[in-house]
Amino acid sequence: MHSNNPGNKIIRHGDHIQLNFGGFVSLSTVDWRGRSACTVFFRGCPLRCSYCQNEAIQTGSDLRDIEAITDMIMTSSPFISGVVFSGGEPTLQKEALLALARFAKKQHLAVGIQTNGQFPATLEALIAESLADRIAIDYKTRWEGFSSMPGDHAPVPRDNYQKNIKKSIAICKKALREQVIREFEIVITVFYENEEYIKEIAAQIGTIPLVLQQGEHKIGNLQATASDISHGEYISKRRSLQELHPPLTLAEIKKIADELGRTVRIRTREAGEITYESDWRCRDARKRQR
Ligand code: SF4
């Protein structure tokens, strides 16, 4: 695939860099609060979160020359002030991510990264070249069982993930302190089952902005069984599973936040994103009851 825009070419040691491409949203107002951005989705992720919204791009191959992606960004550029790299896992494809971030910066576009934190070396490389303005790390709790699912990447041992995400957080904290990045946040997807882990993580991350995102269960083995059942059967199976395990409501997530005793942002389907000052009195009252 060749670029229509000659000024838009990235060459690295004479080789084309390719991206395992997952998708492109030409204009998004939800991926970067307060900005219009385009979003580039990278295909491939070594984790297998049971609730993944982007399971269609966890695996597989759709290789595109980088110039095809920079053309897409250029088409959006009159309408945006930033580019978000998401996935899948963007930091898994280090060279492609660095090349695209360099390109975006050359176009005077801000760069946002959404990552699971598994590849600290990529974050380090981005920060070393001042190629990121905003980093959001999705912190996967131990409950989510990501290490045991099959796929075309080796499973990620939990201890390995814990080690890597801690490194990633330390790197981003330092970059924020030194004003190399301007925004840094930790995002946790919340279910009934992982409340205890949320408290542990909140204690570990200190004052880093925290987003609690409403989680929604999915059918774990959808891809394996989809061809065996009709679409109608699938919808009904999925609905009954989701009725058994409905997402937490905004009020329930606020209760979790009260236990943390800090300000958080909460994202739900019903209310969008809100900033919530936790009710410290609730937490203190519960402590007194114990
Ligand atoms: S880390 Fe993100 S992209 Fe990867 S499986 Fe989990 S939710 Fe999906």
Quote the ligand 1 centre to 186 CA distance (angstroms).
Answer: 15
Q: What is the pLDDT of residue 116?
A: 95
Number of domains in the chain: 1
Contacting residues for 45 by C-beta, under 8 A, at least 6 apart: 52, 54, 57, 58, 87, 88, 89, 92, 116, 153
Q: Determine if ligand 1 sits within 6 Å of the CB of residue 278.
A: no
40: domain range? Answer: 6-289
1 is a domain residue: no
Confirm whether 154 is domain-assigned. Answer: yes
Edge-first strand order for the sheet with 110-115 is 63-65, 18-28, 37-42, 82-87, 110-115, 134-138, 183-190, 210-214, 263-268, 272-277
Per residue in 125-173, pLDDT tens? 999 999 999 999 999 876 654 544 444 445 566 668 889 999 999 999 9
Q: Is 46 in the pocket of ligand 1 (CB under 6 A)?
A: no
What's the CATH code of the domain at 10? 3.20.20.70
For residue 173, give both structure tokens: 């904290």
| Mean pLDDT score across all residues of the chain | 84
Report CA(134)–ligand 1 centroid distance (Å).
Answer: 19
Question: What is the pLDDT, as a whole number, of residue 287?
Answer: 55
Q: Considering the domain boundaries, does residue 168 fall inside one? A: yes
Query: What average pLDDT does range 221-231 have in this prediction?
Result: 52
